């Protein structure tokens, strides 16, 4: 049995690890349960994907499918760390799909909408 100290986010834990040798080592390891993937709507091919720059909650969605947008138009408002962040259009075009609604919790990189 070997003891180690592990620091996780500033909290130190003492863990004991047992070294397995011989026939017991040949046993198949038990796989950890896989996390269910978040539902993602398919993005139209060739469009400009607008993704969430940070985790937060969608406070408002200012566009709908088929809406015409100009570069710099506010597409939606994302609340993160008690601040309201405007998500702006990166280009001129037409909104091909809106993948979130008001009140949706998003993570960094979540597809918000697609502009063609």
CATH number at residue 63: 2.40.50.100
- What's the confidence (pLDDT) of residue 62? 95
Q: Establish if 63 belongs to a structural domain.
A: yes
Q: Establish if 68 belongs to a structural domain.
A: yes
112 touches 100 (CB < 8 A): yes
Q: Establish if 29 belongs to a structural domain.
A: no
- What's the confidence (pLDDT) of residue 18? 82
- What's the confidence (pLDDT) of residue 47? 85
- What's the confidence (pLDDT) of residue 32? 55
What domain range includes position 58? Answer: 48-115
Residues of the chain predicted below pLDDT 50: 35-43
- What's the confidence (pLDDT) of residue 90? 94
All residues at 6 or more sequence positions from 24 whose CB lies less than 8 Å from its CB, including other chains:
none
Q: Establish if 41 belongs to a structural domain.
A: no
Q: Establish if 99 belongs to a structural domain.
A: yes
Q: For the chain, what is the domain count?
A: 1
What is the pTM (predicted TM-score) of this model?
0.60
- What's the confidence (pLDDT) of residue 78? 95
């Amino acid at each position: 049995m070997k003891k180690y100290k592990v620091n996780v986010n500033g909290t130190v834990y003492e863990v004991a690890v047992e070294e397995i040798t011989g026939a017991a080592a040949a046993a198949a390891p038990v796989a950890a349960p896989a996390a269910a993937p978040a539902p993602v709507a398919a993005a139209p091919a060739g469009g400009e994907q607008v993704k969430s720059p940070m985790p937060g909650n969608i406070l408002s969605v200012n566009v709908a499918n088929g809406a015409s947008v100009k570069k710099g138009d506010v597409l939606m408002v994302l609340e993160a760390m008690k601040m309201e962040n405007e998500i702006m259009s990166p280009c001129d075009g037409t909104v091909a799909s809106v993948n979130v609604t008001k009140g949706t919790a998003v993570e960094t990189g979540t597809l918000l909408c697609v502009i063609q």
